Amino acid sequence: MSTDALLLKIMTQLDAMQIQQQTMQAQLDALSIPGRRDSAVHPVASSPPIASSPPIGTASSRPIAIPSSSSKSSTFQLGTSPPLSGTPSSMPHHALSGVTSSEKEREKILYPGRVNLTTYPGQHSISPHPLQWGAASPDARGPVVCSRLPGSIKARNALGAHSGSYSIYRALSIALGSLSPTHKPDFTMTEPPIDIPPNPSWGSKGGWSIGPEPATGGYGPIVSMDPYGHLVPSVFRRESEELGLDVRPSIAVTLAHIKMSELDDSVRRGTLKVDGKVVMNSPPLPGVDHVGVEVVVSKAAVEPVWHLPGVAERSELLLRRALFEETGGSYPELITRPDIKVFLPPIGGLTAYIFGNPAFLSDPSKELTLRVHDECNGSDVFGSDICTCKPYLTYAIEECIRGAQKGGVGLVVYFRKEGRALGEVTKYLVYNLRKRGGDSADKYFKSTELIAGVKDMRFQALMPDVLHWLGITKVDHMVSMSDMKYNAIVQSGIPILNRYDIPDHLIPPDSRVEIDAKIAAGYFSSSKTVTEADLVRTVGRTWEETDH
């Protein structure tokens, strides 16, 4: 489809949205409480009327009607901004049956302004705080501001919400009365206990493209997270304290001890040593003869922050449209605010576990052992034997520990991408299909495609951002068989010197279907070759073979 045809299709659908919005506005105005001086409760100046959505990237001057509280319609030209005017009206859900007057009053206290469905670039009083992605310093870059609090909504330069999908739990807490929507966090004494300093990758130096074409935007190699996310309270103190903007960290760094029974077993077997620095004996417990060991780690939790042009440099319009449609229209400003280039998506983030001295991550003279692991709740937490996720993760942790004990550093990056980013429901549906349809390796990927339409949605091209954030310039040992992860890291400019596959003795029998299918599809294996003809002979356990 040509660009003009695509824009015409978008304009047609946006016109339909306009009609729906006009209908909604009429319903809102009809629901206004008679005899109430709502203008004293709802400040009109901060409340734009519901308006149609001008298509991105078009300079058309076709006038569009904008509904207002009166019976007359005003018009504006596409490419200009609708006026900030109109009489406030009741919230849409006040039409729900059973809503009491006390609930309405409580809502007016929590949210005194009218509903703002969307905003437009250049709109009166809308002035996004300057943000230059890929700038070499925090002052030049500017903070990420996505808050809709009164002091920040006009200065927003990002869409979405902090904490990703957990923002829904925040909404529940507010609705149930346990949290104030205007709560301002106190970040005193929350600064990182270890230093992750700026490096050239935080700026535009070393930019790379996630597509087949060379990068042209100069955004740098980090486009899916805010490299200053852990330094927000310090480097953006002025914006928070003097300008009153709601600026929040998207990264937190801390220290911890991890304790796993598998590591206890390795110490007893002698394959892992207690050195008193990385691996320590656990404190004694009354009545327990063998308390085992624990491992000292540094860890960072990272929430995604997407720079949309960097995520999809050659098709930003299409990415915005897809994000808008596939989130149920939850973020209309993806369409109406092309000037805002940053989006905090409602997805899970990642956790980075560092074994050894964190400063060694950016030191090319030190050996780095790396495992990039995508979440698998069934195996990682509950030990399901249908896949190799937990044994491979455990093996990687031990390799990272051994690397740190030899004077290097280990890193495990744990992404929340359950079921290859298809979700656990889809994964279990695939399990059912596999076990009922004959669980052979030649059908492994086909089973997923039948249900999900694709065999993998993890989009590994964004994965190396966290490595660049940490200042990593090479990987000495990568504990992974994934060709997609390997290619993404190498193509981002980080060479990988050695790769490890999972040892055979750690592969559960029922997960041989998965491993053989992946090797045949191009996954790395140092010792085994699997052909398409071999896959038919690799068969997993059926339900009937197990007592339930």
Instruction: Report CA-CA distances (Å) from 299 to 255, 358, 407.
Output: 6, 10, 19
Contacts of 136 (CB under 8 A, 6+ apart): 202, 203, 204, 205
Residues annotated as part of the active site: 456, 458
Q: CB of 126 within 8 A of CB of 119?
A: yes
Q: CB of 156 within 8 A of CB of 128?
A: yes
Instruction: Report CA-CA distances (Å) from 542 to 73, 385, 386, 394, 518.
Output: 66, 13, 11, 27, 20
Among 375, 360, 391, 382, CA closest to 479? 391
Contacts of 297 (CB under 8 A, 6+ apart): 255, 256, 257, 258, 353, 354, 355
Cα separation, 159 vs 153, in Å, equals 10
> Phi, psi (5° rounding) for residue 136?
-85, -5
Q: Crossing angle for the helix pair 444-452 and 424-437, nearest 10 degrees? A: 130
Cα separation, 477 vs 490, in Å, equals 13
Q: Give the single-character DSSP code of 300.
A: E
Q: CB of 464 within 8 A of CB of 473?
A: no
Q: Crossing angle for the helix pair 444-452 and 512-520, nearest 10 degrees? A: 90
Joined together, the tokens standing for residue 497 give 């010197």
Stretch (H or E) spanning 434: helix 424-437
DSSP 3-state of 1: coil
Cα separation, 46 vs 109, in Å, equals 16
> Phi, psi (5° rounding) for residue 488?
-65, -40
C-beta neighbour count of 472 within 10 angstroms? 22
Joined together, the tokens standing for residue 71 give 């019976």
| Helices and strands (H, E) in the chain, number of each type | 20, 13
Q: CB of 479 within 8 A of CB of 501?
A: no
State the burial class of residue 253 (Cβ atoms within 10 Å of its Cβ: 0-12, 13-18, 19+): buried
> Phi, psi (5° rounding) for residue 286?
-60, 130
Cα separation, 347 vs 345, in Å, equals 6
CA angle 55, 58, 63 (to 5 degrees): 70
Strands 251-258 and 279-281: unpaired
C-beta neighbour count of 261 within 10 angstroms? 9
